Amino acid sequence: MSAHRVLVTGASGFLGRAVATALVAAGHDVRTLQRRPSGVEGVQDVLGTVTDPATVASALDGRDAVVHLAAKVSLAGDPADFERVNVGGTATLLDAARAAGVERFVQVSSPSVAHLGTAIVGADADPADPVHARGDYARTKAAAELLALRADSDRMRVVAVRPHLVWGPGDTQLVERVVERARAGRLPVLGHGAALVDSTYVDNAASAIVAALAAVDRVHGNAYVVTNGEPRPVGELIAGICRASGVRPPAWSVPAGLARAAGGVVEAVWRVRPGADEPPMTRFLAEQLSTAHWFDQRRTRADLRWEPAVTIDEGLARLAPPRA
């Protein structure tokens, strides 16, 4: 793979940091753009936001490729903030990338852009649907993906990659919240915990994004879901995360329908009186924890010429706290 001068946005986040690290290891010249230092060795940090055209233009100077991860990721919040960062920021970045002569653009998206609330069983990357996507994050990420793919051309080739449920050591979104809530006795199993779900170990998600950058000349204009390809019952996955982290798995359950109804109530209250942290339940979260969502990975692996290197069991072993 030839080396590129890559701008990575959002490299202070969990996945963004892993992607920037993997790109450096692959021999690329990496610059990052985010609001705080990335902490990645071997990169040039530019501090700022993708919503600021001047900062974006400066960060893109001399770059020939972009990997765009910066986003507002939350279960709740002001809808205008999601729109400003996820849609407006992507539009600003795309316009500046075209003006700067960027030739390759990887849009890091999410399978939630095509999740309509029902089970996903062996699906591929269905079209992003901002009208029916569940919640402000998914809706705005869907709109951003469509913007990116519409920008695809022979001059700037664009591919969208949708890693699903990324987790690993240092993850503050899935792993930390599961462990904290389980430790406090506030983590139920929804329904029977039997819904099959895919997930992605962080190193695999990062290597798939690096592979997409290498493959963009062949696969531009397409979207790809990325997972470990090892769907497991959601209750089993959560229990595995808990045990690996030294916490007792949840031993109580809540009917899935009740959890969805409760999530709707919590969302309504959160809009009026938001809490300091994420809401304990939302309709989207209840759907994710109680319905199947696993994906056919054959097209992803063939087109990107990529295979996951870390199994779920190996990843869970890496979650274990170091021995004293």
Please give the positions annotated as active site. 137
Cβ-Cβ contacts under 8 Å for 298 (sequence gap 6 or more): none
Tell me how long the chain is.
324
Instruction: For residue 9, list its beta bridge partners.
Output: 33, 68
Q: Could you tell me how many helices (H) and strands (E) the chain has, helices first?
A: 12, 15
Closest among 197, 158, 204 to 178, alpha carbons compared? 197
Amino acid, res. 113: V
Instruction: For residue 72, list its beta bridge partners.
Output: none
CB atoms near residue 269 (< 10 Å) = 12
Q: How big is the chain by its Cα radius of gyration, in Å?
A: 19
Report the Cα 99 to chain-centroid distance in Å.
27
3-class DSSP state of 92: helix
